[in-house]
Chains A and B, each alone.
Chain A
Amino acid sequence: EAQVTQNPRYLITVTGKKLTVTCSQNMNHEYMSWYRQDPGLGLRQIYYSMNVEVTDKGDVPEGYKVSRKEKRNFPLILESPSPNQTSLYFCASSLTQGVIQYFGAGTRLSVL
């Protein structure tokens, strides 16, 4: 079954404690991206990757890091989380940029 898998689904952490949210897709897609969703603001893109070892900043990259060492995986790293990063995060993948995106189920993060 074609899918994008994010883990964990829920995470409560404290300010400054490094964390990683994993994302994996099984569709051999080249394009992957991370979004955060906050009430009233829609989805804002954090980072995206056009292919292995090719990543670029989206609209809200501050405080986040990503890597794309393998085609299927695109982890999101928060090196020193802060309360303003409390949000709902989505990973998405597509064959290439601008075509149909497949979304993960989301990760709800709370930073205390």
Chain B
Amino acid sequence: SQQGEEDPQALSIQEGENATMNCSYKTSINNLQWYRQNSGRGLVHLILIRSNEREKHSGRLRVTLDTSKKSSSLLITASRAADTASYFCYGQNFVFGPGTRLSVLP
């Protein structure tokens, strides 16, 4: 199966800063989803953006999608220590990649 690719692999920021991570994929999609995984736990769905949408917001999360470039970005604003986790993208026709490990330092 095609795999999504998150970038960067790891990201360290200070509390209060914004965190941006990217996802690239190679297939056509109907939607793209972002998930969060706290250390060793099950993934939790964060946000879904449909292929006809360019941007979507949910609380401190902002997701963009560019289907022409086959890429998406997840922005977490005003990050908190509790945002420390791994983040994954997923689509109907591609599977999870290695994820982005985000560390938010107090």
Whether the Cβ atoms of B45 and A43 lie closer than 8 Å is no
Whether the Cβ atoms of A98 and B43 lie closer than 8 Å is no
Whether the Cβ atoms of B43 and A103 lie closer than 8 Å is yes
Whether the Cβ atoms of A43 and B88 lie closer than 8 Å is yes
Question: How far apart are the CA atoms of A2 and B96 in the complex, in Å?
Answer: 23
Does A111 belong to the interface (CB within 8 Å)?
no
Does B41 belong to the interface (CB within 8 Å)?
yes
Q: Which of A88, A97, A99, A103 contacts B44 (CB 8 A)?
A: A103
Question: How far apart are the CA atoms of A98 and B95 in the complex, in Å?
Answer: 10
Summed over the interface, the residue pairs from A and B with CB atoms below 8 Å come to a total of 53
Does B42 belong to the interface (CB within 8 Å)?
yes
Chain B residues within 8 Å of chain A by Cβ, number: 23
Does B13 belong to the interface (CB within 8 Å)?
no
Q: Which of A4, A40, A59, A98 contacts B91 (CB 8 A)?
A: A98
Q: Which of B3, B40, B42, B45 contacts A42 (CB 8 A)?
A: B3
Question: How far apart are the CA atoms of A50 and B80 in the complex, in Å?
Answer: 38
Q: Which of A42, A59, A88, A90 contacts B97 (CB 8 A)?
A: A42
Q: Which of B30, B40, B41, B96 contacts A43 (CB 8 A)?
A: B96
B9 → A minimal CB distance (Å): 9
Whether the Cβ atoms of A103 and B42 lie closer than 8 Å is yes
Q: Which residues on the A side are within 8 Å of B95 (C-beta)? A: 43-45, 59
Whether the Cβ atoms of A100 and B48 lie closer than 8 Å is yes
Ordered nearest first, which 10 A-B pairs have the shortest CB separation?
A: A98-B92, A103-B42, A42-B98, A43-B96, A103-B43, A100-B45, A42-B96, A42-B97, A105-B42, A59-B1
A98-B31, A106-B40 are known; give 13 further A-B pairs, CB within 8 A: A4-B42, A42-B3, A43-B95, A43-B96, A44-B95, A59-B1, A59-B95, A101-B35, A101-B90, A102-B45, A103-B43, A105-B41, A105-B42
